């Protein structure tokens, strides 16, 4: 028996942190099994599936990853609503006694961080006074990103937002610096902050600006983005607002919003063009363009695609024999 969406809507408006029987990460088919067919679906698609199901005045957004899980409940009609998964992985007392890459661990009664090349001691830190989550950590006297003290950070108000962002009462921090001129009262992360290779990356916004962080260099402020309607599509690479599509923090050139769709493995297309991340693939045939790298391919695998005339690795044309050899190698892994 289908559940009454209106009852769920009213309950959710009263208590936004209880979205049951929905769960973040669940599939579109599971949502439809609960509420029935939606009143409308978006033209934005990934692998043929719409990225948004709309019931009454509430949009249910699904990410662009292969499993297309629910990641945002949103409305800007008569009500204003924006609910993402509550970040449960808060800083916890350190218990790990074995080195794990990019995490804190205990050794000989002291706290260490397992870095890329060596394990670093956090000098003067009492393990009983230390809490951490992955590479974020704090004691009563200092806050840490890996083995580095965050200068000026306030331990009492310090909180982790996701893999890419943390904040205290004075600033928003990323794995490569602070977000400039962040409005702390309205700042919100828009995805889980971790890309498909496990690196910190993601979109966030406040009342004044939208930003993108990929762990490589300074945080990018996305100029011209429409803040109120801006949202991540959940994979940390692609985002949109009411007027534009963005990929890897940059506007997709000439993309037609109404016909644009995600194809997977960083490829997308609209009615006239094919894109790889934020770059147009010149000369690609839109209608016959097909992504060929399997959905379950290992991380950091080459992205391969083809159309009726050409063969592509990422956004570059390669010879057919070379392309087929690489595709076969991927399938054999």
| pLDDT tens-place string over residues 153-179 | 999 999 999 999 999 999 999 998 999
Q: Are 295 and 304 contacting, i.e. CB atoms less than 8 angstroms apart?
A: no
Position 224 in a domain: no
Position 70 in a domain: yes
Which residue carries 């390669």 as its tokens?
318
Half-sphere exposure of 214 (CA within 13 A, CB side): 14
Residues 61, 100, single domain; the answer is no
pLDDT in tens, 207-218: 999 999 997 778
Of 262, 201, 247, 236, nearest in space to 47 by CA: 262
Residues 74, 116, single domain; the answer is no
Tokens coding 139: 């004691």
Tokens coding 312: 């592509």
Cα–Cα distance, 126 to 128 (Å, whole number): 5
Position 278 in a domain: yes
Of 147, 194, 143, nearest in space to 173 by CA: 143
Position 205 in a domain: no
CB burial of residue 178 (10 Å; 0-12, 13-18, 19+): middle
Position 327 in a domain: yes
Give the length of the chain.
Answer: 333
Can you give the pTM of this predicted structure? 0.81
Residues 44, 73, single domain; the answer is yes
Q: Residue 143: which domain range?
A: 92-160
pLDDT in tens, 308-323: 999 999 999 999 999 9
Q: Are 51 and 64 contacting, i.e. CB atoms less than 8 angstroms apart?
A: yes
Residues 74, 133, single domain; the answer is no
**Phi, psi values for residue 327, rounded to 5°:** -65, -40
Residues 38, 55, single domain; the answer is yes
Last residue of a domain, one of 24, 54, 83: 83
Residues 100, 78, single domain; the answer is no
Confidence at residue 333, expressed as pLDDT on a 0 to 100 scale: 78
Q: Are 16 and 83 contacting, i.e. CB atoms less than 8 angstroms apart?
A: yes
**Start-end of H helices in 156-267:** none
Of 66, 64, 68, nearest in space to 32 by CA: 68
Residues 76, 123, single domain; the answer is no
pLDDT in tens, 205-248: 999 999 999 977 789 999 999 999 999 988 899 999 999 999 99
Position 207 in a domain: no
Of 38, 10, 8, 36, nearest in space to 23 by CA: 8
Alpha carbon 58 to chain centroid, angstroms? 21
Cα–Cα distance, 223 to 229 (Å, whole number): 14
Tokens coding 254: 């000439």
Secondary structure class of 317 (helix, strand, coil): strand
Position 258 in a domain: no
Last residue of a domain, one of 160, 177, 204: 160
Residues 306, 327, single domain; the answer is yes
Tokens coding 310: 């050409």
Q: Are 19 and 83 contacting, i.e. CB atoms less than 8 angstroms apart?
A: yes
Cα–Cα distance, 132 to 8 (Å, whole number): 36
Position 310 in a domain: yes
291: DSSP letter: E
Looking only at the bridges linking them, the beta strands covering 45-46 and 261-264 are parallel
Residues 67, 107, single domain; the answer is no
Of 163, 33, 156, nearest in space to 103 by CA: 163
Residues 275, 311, single domain; the answer is yes
Last residue of a domain, one of 127, 160, 193: 160
Residues 79, 96, single domain; the answer is no
Q: Is the pLDDT of residue 89 over 60?
A: no
Average model confidence (pLDDT) across the chain? 90
- The residues, ordered by sequence, that sit 6+ positions from 14 with a Cβ below 8 Å of its Cβ are none
Residues 107, 72, single domain; the answer is no
| Domains contained in the chain, number | 3
pLDDT in tens, 288-300: 999 999 887 887 8
């Amino acid at each position: 028996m289908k559940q009454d969406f209106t009852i769920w809507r009213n309950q959710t408006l009263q208590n936004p942190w209880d979205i049951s029987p929905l769960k973040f990460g669940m599939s579109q088919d599971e949502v439809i099994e609960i509420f029935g067919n939606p009143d409308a679906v978006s033209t934005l698609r990934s692998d043929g599936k719409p990225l948004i199901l709309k019931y009454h005045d509430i949009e249910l957004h699904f990410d662009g990853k292969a499993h297309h899980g629910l990641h945002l409940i949103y409305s800007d009609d008569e009500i204003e609503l924006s609910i993402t998964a509550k970040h449960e992985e808060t800083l916890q007392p350190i218990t790990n006694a074995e080195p794990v890459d990019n995490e804190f661990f205990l050794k000989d009664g002291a706290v260490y961080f397992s870095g890329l090349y060596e394990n670093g001691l956090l000098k003067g830190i009492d393990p009983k006074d230390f809490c951490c989550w992955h590479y974020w950590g704090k004691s009563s006297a200092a806050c840490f990103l890996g083995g580095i003290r965050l200068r000026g950070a306030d331990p009492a108000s310090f909180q982790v937002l996701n893999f890419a962002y943390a904040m205290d009462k004075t600033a928003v921090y990323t794995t490569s610096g602070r977000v400039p001129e962040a409005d702390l009262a309205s700042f919100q992360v828009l995805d889980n902050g971790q890309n498909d290779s496990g690196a910190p990356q993601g979109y966030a916004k406040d009342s004044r600006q939208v930003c993108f962080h990929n762990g490589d260099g300074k945080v990018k402020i996305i100029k011209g983005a429409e803040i109120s309607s801006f949202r991540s599509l959940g994979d940390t690479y692609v985002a949109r607002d009411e007027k534009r599509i963005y990929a890897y923090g940059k506007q997709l050139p000439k993309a037609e919003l109404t016909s644009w769709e995600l194809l997977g493995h960083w490829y997308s297309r609209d009615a006239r063009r094919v894109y790889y991340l934020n770059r147009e693939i010149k000369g690609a045939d839109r209608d016959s363009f097909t992504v060929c790298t399997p959905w379950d391919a290992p991380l950091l695998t080459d992205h391969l695609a083809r159309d009726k005339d050409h063969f592509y690795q990422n956004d570059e044309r390669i010879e057919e024999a070379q392309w087929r050899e690489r595709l076969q190698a991927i399938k054999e892994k």
